[in-house]
Amino acid sequence: MKVFYNDRHPLHHGRHEMFRGALVPCFEVPARADYVLHELKARKFGSIESAPEADRAILERIHAPRYLDFLGTAWQEWIALDPRNAERDALPSYWPIRTFRSDVLPASFPARMGLFSFDAGSPITAGTWAAARHGADCAVAGARSLLAGERGAFALTRPPGHHAGHDFFGGYCFLNNAAIAAQFLRDQGLARVAVLDLDYHHGNGTQAIFYQRPDIFFASVHGDPHTEYPYYLGYADERGTGKGEGCNLNLPLPRGTGFDRWREAVAQALLAIRAFGAEALVLSLGVDTFEGDPISGFGLRSEDYLRVGADLAAAGLPTLFVFEGGYAVAEVGINTVNVLDGFENA
């Protein structure tokens, strides 16, 4: 399995995020990917490669040009407001919720930051754009390898991507790597592609991007949004709309769910993907389903992830794994590579 590693990911290193009224150290840290890379090397797993830069036009198939423009200049604008801002991350303070306009692009940087975000937990830093941009490159390179005949590929990158929408960031995510890869596979000639999201938190961005599409199936197994982030999307009655009706499957599970019940839900999702007739699978691989994860609530153990990989291999689809969440940093490498090992050895 080829691994496409984002060596620019450490450039995005947030100091703080807003959590329940307090600034706390970020949960999404460079060590997450470092542990995975260390485990890959320790097991001599696959070839670790760099990724060429993807054309911006590929990103614009998923993200709004004005949103990409904002991300590309946000840090410079933040510094221009006050040189002292170089010592602190940029976090939004205002949001255009119901009845407010979102079609007009404000001149104010804080107003634009709110326009293009949905939470205060995703800091923009000096290296956010470089890290996120190269992450998209890794996802596209992984998709290319599937088209070239590889059975599996892994985009090891951060910041993650599945909460990012067409024109907004949040949930630590800025560019939706899984969605970019799925769209690229379609644009290169595959008729039907599936995205399966196994992160503890629902991939609201991916769902919203493809919600009206009949050619890309989205399935997600995640914590029940009645109590779990991102709260406002991920319910079981969300099945797609228009031509995309029936092409969206959410399988929310209560906090405390163990591996057996979780595995049954994943099997249900894979059956739906098979019925859809997908020619390739993009897997949003979050391992925050681990029992020791500090911001999640499922009960998977490290050895369970080997069986997860085997179950995914049994689907018989070329599969691109895209790294998402997982915040029990010491175990994130073992758990992630166990999935890949289970897939390769099935």
Distance CA 248, CA 254 (A): 20
pLDDT of residue 72: 98
Note the pLDDT tens digit of each residue in 131-183: 999 999 999 999 999 999 999 999 999 999 999 999 999 999 999 999 999 99
pLDDT of residue 60: 98
Question: What is the pairing mode between strands 152-156 and 319-323?
Answer: parallel
Residue 19's domain spans which residues? 2-51+128-345
Percent of the chain at pLDDT exceeding 70: 100
Q: What's 238's domain CATH number?
A: 3.40.800.20
pLDDT of residue 303: 98
CA atoms within 13 A on the CB side of 145: 26
**Does some domain include residue 97?**
no
Residue 262: pLDDT above 90?
yes
Residue 238: pLDDT above 90?
yes
Residue in 9, 12, 63, 163 annotated catalytic: 163
**Does some domain include residue 122?**
no
pLDDT of residue 21: 83
**Does some domain include residue 318?**
yes
Residues whose CB falls within 8 Å of the CB of residue 318, separated by 6 or more in sequence, listed in order: 146, 150, 151, 152, 279, 280, 281
**Does some domain include residue 112?**
no
**Does some domain include residue 166?**
yes
CA dihedral 206, 210, 216, 222 (to 10 degrees): 40
Residue 22: pLDDT above 90?
no
Q: How many other β-carbons are positioned within 10 Å of the β-carbon of residue 292?
A: 16
Confidence of residue 59 (pLDDT cuts 50, 70, 90): very high
The verdict on pTM exceeding 0.85 is yes
Give me the amino acid identity at 49: E
Mean pLDDT calculated for residue range 69-86: 97
**Does some domain include residue 70?**
no
163 as an active site residue: the answer is: yes
**Does some domain include residue 90?**
no
Count: domains in the chain: 1
**Does some domain include residue 269?**
yes
